[in-house]
Amino acid sequence: MNFSLNEGQKFLQKLAKDFTINTIDPIAPKMESDARLPDDLIGKFAHVGLLGMTVPGNKNSEASTLDCSLVIEQIAYSGTGAWWLVAFNNSIPEIIHQFGSEGIKQKYLAPLCNGTSYGSVQFTEEETGSDPEALTTKGMPEGEYYVINGMKRFSTFGDRNGCAIVYVKDENGACTAFIIEKKQKGYSTEKSWELMGAGGIEAVDVYFQDMHVPKENIVGIKGKGFDILLHWIAIEKIMQSAANIGMAQAALDEAIRYVKARKSRGKLVSGMQGIRWILAEMKCKLEAARYLTYRAASLYDVKDMNWKAEAASTKLFVIPATLEIIDKARQLHGCYGYVKDFKIERLYRGAAGASSIATSLEINRSIVGGWLIE
């Protein structure tokens, strides 16, 4: 397997890195304090072609999932929640492109790619995060429409203008996916949850009250919505792993910078063998996590039949490994690792949710174990 990046990938990597340095880093503290992404950030992402990268006809449309992962890795280096916007407005257009009708593609793809629409995915509810049979939100047919009633929890960008793919229990008790316009009649939001990290993703509760959605807004095959969700989540695992790699790389860089400046008894801490051993272990685990993520993205790009299981396997290794790297970097900072003035504190909080968001590690153990036995 060739681990070298081609010139196009190097270009995207540098583009995303420069964007992070020039656009995100200067406003990172404000994003944290506001718990909201700046309104103009989505347009800036679109302007440089970092949204809808795999959609034909869009800027950077020759990009692959591996390319998207490279970009997300660089954006997440900031330790902010900005990478979520890039992930959602790439993975959701990918789902629409694969499963949506021509009418859905024509109506919803362009806004997601040009920065005028925030994409959301709405499955989780109060009593379930992964079981389609436990859904209580229902969509019932009424003439040319389906009428949706119920609620969804932790909807990322759920209060922002744009579209959402919402999963409901249809009249047959099966899970069906619909694409809707948020903030329309019958759609309301409450409670933006205050998260430990990833400032700005605005996870809200969504309520549906007699929201009428045209039947042609069904995404994919009626009653097969959960298959679409599993497809999207597998992509999201790869992008999430890429994001944690970016934060782990930032943590390693912060740790190296700190120990090269910190003295103990008149000598630089970086000269201590124990410190160097810790850094060496961090580096090795980071590279293993990075290439496992790149491999998973590449397997999706070539449509390997086992790519979903490999995505689960990737998350199962990458998330604990990167969390360990970031925690070790925090410990190397001593008491300063607990201070908001230091970036490592933001990185630690920003990465923490990955073990439970977009499927828990326990679910991924079950996926990988079942795949090996079957």
Q: Is pLDDT at 211 greater than 80 in this prediction?
A: yes
Helix, coil or strand: residue 298: helix
How remote is the C-alpha of 260 from its chain's centroid?
A: 33
For the cut 70, the answer to whether the pLDDT of residue 1 exceeds it is no
- CB burial of residue 355 (10 Å; 0-12, 13-18, 19+): middle
pLDDT digits (tens, 9 = 90+) for 251-279: 999 999 999 999 888 899 999 999 999 99
Name the fold adopted by 226-373: Butyryl-CoA Dehydrogenase, subunit A; domain 3 (1.20.140)
Considering the domain delimited by 7-114, tell me its CATH architecture: Orthogonal Bundle (1.10)
Domain 120-223 fold is Butyryl-CoA Dehydrogenase, subunit A; domain 2 (2.40.110)
> d(Cα 16, Cα 37) in Å, to the nearest integer?
17
**Counting every residue, how long is the chain?**
374
Q: For residue 84, what pLDDT is reported? A: 96
Residue 224 reports pLDDT greater than 80: yes
Which of 111, 114, 113, 151 is closest to 135 using CA atoms?
Answer: 151
Tokens at residue 2, please?
């060739």
CA distance 126 to 267: 54
Q: Predicted confidence band at 192 (pLDDT cuts at 50, 70, 90)? A: confident
Do 136 and 106 meet the contact criterion of CB atoms below 8 Å apart? no
CATH 1.10.540.10 location in the chain: 7-114
- Read off the pTM: 0.95
**Residue 186 contacts residue 205 (beta carbons within 8 Å):** no
The C-alpha atoms of residue 238 and residue 243 are separated, in whole angstroms, by: 9
- Percentage of the chain modeled with pLDDT above 90: 87
Which residues of the chain are in CATH 2.40.110.10 domains?
A: 120-223
Comma-separated ranges of CATH 1.20.140.10 domains in the chain: 226-373
Cβ–Cβ < 8 Å for 89, 52: yes
The pLDDT score that the predictor gives to residue 60 is 63
> What is the pLDDT averaged over residues 364-369?
96
* Residue 64 to residue 62: CA distance in whole angstroms: 7
pLDDT tens readout for residues 57-116: 776 667 999 999 999 999 999 999 999 999 999 999 999 999 999 999 999 999 999 999
Q: Is the pLDDT of residue 191 over 90?
A: no
Rounded CA separation 49/31 (Å): 22
Q: Is 144 helix (H, G, I), strand (E, B) or coil?
A: coil
User: What average pLDDT does range 143-161 have in this prediction?
Assistant: 97
Give the helix ranges, DSSP H, for the chain.
7-19, 28-34, 41-47, 65-76, 82-99, 102-114, 225-261, 273-301, 307-332, 343-352, 361-373
Dist CA 210 CA 140 (whole Å): 10
Tokens of 233: 């989540």
